Structure 1
Amino acid sequence: MTMRIAGMASDELEAYLRAGEIVRSLKSSVATRIRAGARLIDLASFVEEETLRMDARPAFPCNISVNAIASHYTPSPTCPRMLEKGDVVKVDLGAIVGGYIADSAFTAEVETAVHQDLIEAANEALSRAVEAVHPGVTTSEIGRTISAVASAHGFRVLKDLYGHNMCRNCLHGGLTIPNYDDGSARKIREGDVLAIEPFLTAGRGEISRNPGGNIFQVIRKDAFYATGAGEKEMLQRLNRDYTGFPFTVRWLGADTAALQGLIRSAAVKEYPMLVEKDGAPVSQAEHTLIVTREGCKIIT
């Protein structure tokens, strides 16, 4: 029987399901490449190139966040970093099909099991949060479920990091899914597309925002904010190629001087790298799901 979602056309649903299928395949493939000695740049490039090969677009640069880095890090073109035994590695990736997005993440430990409890707790928190999703549930109830699982295992959630809803050509649609009870009365509706992503740690769970994450986004599209022909050409290219989605320097080729000018003029923002302040490893688990009349369907 064909699944039906109120307010969602069949071709829209088909695109979401295809994006989810691609993301599932990519997660499985990249997981087999996580080993000591693997270069971060090779892992990220593999994910992004495979996304294109499967007739989709990356929704954002593949995030490969190691140990206390929680999110918003992708390797630069010259990044020498290789995975080491004992690293806690979070891989966060997304695919766009016809403007419709699937977003998912997993955590792996490189050739040890010291942090297995932390990783399993994030997976359990995600599973329990998904079980709690149905039309009418508040976002704070979902967050309360996540934090309760974390606490039961002796961990804390990172309160500064949220899940989010998505819509066509929009990675963050304005609805946030907290990892704790933030008191919000906003309710989930049938047809919502949600990315739920618990982040857990044994540290205090506080975040520092550091430069160097190598992820950027156009926030002012008008050529008024560009100075000189090079910046105007770069801004035009960014608007055309990435349509408001995040991008990274390694996608742009060798000449990126114009990008720095666009950053200075605040036409382009750089995402800060998010790091757990205590230096404690962070685990992440994430699925994209579509809210149905009875509950939800995981597509990743």
Structure 2
Amino acid sequence: MFGRSSKMPAKTPDQVRSMRRAGLVVGETLAELVDAAREGLTTGELDTVAEAAIRGRGATPSFLGYQGFPGSICVSVNDEIVHGIPGDRVLQEGDLVSIDCGAIVDGWHGDAAVTVVVGGDAAARPEDLDLSAATRRSMWEGIRALVPGSRLYDVGGAVEDSIAASARDLGRTLSIVDGYTGHGIGTEMHQDPHVFNERVREKGPTVTVGTTVAIEPMVTLGTHESHELDDEWTVVTDDGSRACHWEHTVAVTDGGLWVLTALDGGEADLGDRYAPLDLGTSRGPR
């Protein structure tokens, strides 16, 4: 199992700033894709928008060609959880769409995911809005659990507790997808260690200043069980329930946290935990 080392490998401040440049490309591309996702557009056309947005910012898509993946983004619709291949599927009003995006700048990676409803909140099922809000909230609770000197697997406990509280408050079934985790990130998109989305018995490595990880809860309105389709990529829920995926790449700094793939660096959601390395601007260096 990944993550048996006692400490997380730390990035230097300059390396974190380099990762921020990649993170901003991801954040800006996802913002474009949220605006572009509309009824009648195919997931392949959304992928075309993404590749142009990434390359237009001087970056390279992390996903394209990764272990043979054919797209620049993953587009997962309704009961699809993650790794949806862009193609001929036409988006419909009310679809719940998770978009996962990665970019490389000067050898450094950024990775993030958002979930959007085609047609906006007015077109959404109430349960889908609840699912997305709960998943996003659990991601931020996991991010806040990154404290120097703490153990990395505390993130999973924070995510799990948040989802349990949301399920109780909303009166809905919410399940964390089994077997999928976040990860370390830097000069490779996926690095040791795993970042779990639930509480585990091991404590994991110690979080240090310079730690960079991608935190990405995946949650459903039904089962925690899933399977891979015949395309050997797309993961769907076993019971056909809808799924949601949110993700950010995060750096631990001397003063707190810098969310490298959030356009505001995480300021709006972190409050006094927000601590970019470049205090002259909330968006950090470019």
- For this structure pair, what is the TM-score category when the shorter chain's length is used for normalisation? 0.7 to 0.9
CA-CA distance at 1:43 after TM superposition: 0.4
CA-to-aligned-CA distance 1:18-38 (integer Å, 9 cap, x gap): 111111111111111111111
Counterpart residue number, 2:140: 127
Whole-Å separation in 2 of the counterparts to 1:121 and 1:162: 17
Q: Which runs of 5+ in 2 are unaligned?
A: 1-8, 64-71, 168-173, 262-286
Counterpart residue number, 1:116: 129
Amino acid at match of 2:107: G
Aligned 1:58-69 pairs, distance under 5 A: 58-60=61-63, 61-69=72-80
Counterpart residue number, 1:89: 97
Counterpart residue number, 1:242: none
Counterpart residue number, 1:266: none
Alignment partner for residue 56 of structure 1, among 54, 59, 78? 59
Q: Is the alpha carbon distance of 1:94 and 1:80 closer, same or farther for their aligned partners in structure 2, counting shifts above 3 Å?
A: same
Q: Is the alpha carbon distance of 1:83 and 1:18 closer, same or farther for their aligned partners in structure 2, counting shifts above 3 Å?
A: same
CA-to-aligned-CA distance 1:38-73 (integer Å, 9 cap, x gap): 111010111112111111111113000001111112
CA-CA distance at 1:117 after TM superposition: 0.4
CA-CA distance at 1:281 after TM superposition: 0.7
Whole-Å separation in 2 of the counterparts to 1:44 and 1:204: 29
User: What RMSD in Å do the two structures reach over aligned CA positions?
Assistant: 1.6
Q: Is the alpha carbon distance of 1:173 and 1:296 closer, same or farther for their aligned partners in structure 2, counting shifts above 3 Å?
A: same
Counterpart residue number, 1:146: 159
Greater Cα radius of gyration, structure 1 or 2: 1
CA-CA distance at 1:9 after TM superposition: 4.0
Q: Secondary structure at the match of 2:191?
A: coil
Aligned 1:1-300 pairs, distance under 5 A: 8-60=11-63, 61-75=72-86, 79-111=87-119, 112-114=123-125, 115-154=128-167, 155-168=174-187, 170-187=188-205, 188-212=207-231, 271-300=232-261
8 Å contact kept, 1:147–1:156: no
CA-CA distance at 1:138 after TM superposition: 2.1
Amino acid at match of 1:47: A
Whole-Å separation in 2 of the counterparts to 1:210 and 1:74: 11
Whole-Å separation in 2 of the counterparts to 1:297 and 1:55: 22
Q: Secondary structure at the match of 2:219?
A: strand
Q: TM-score, normalised by structure 1?
A: 0.74
8 Å contact kept, 2:225–2:237: yes
Q: TM-score, normalised by structure 2?
A: 0.77
8 Å contact kept, 1:194–1:288: yes
Q: Which runs of 5+ in 1 are unaligned?
A: 1-5, 213-270
What is the aligned-residue identity percentage? 27
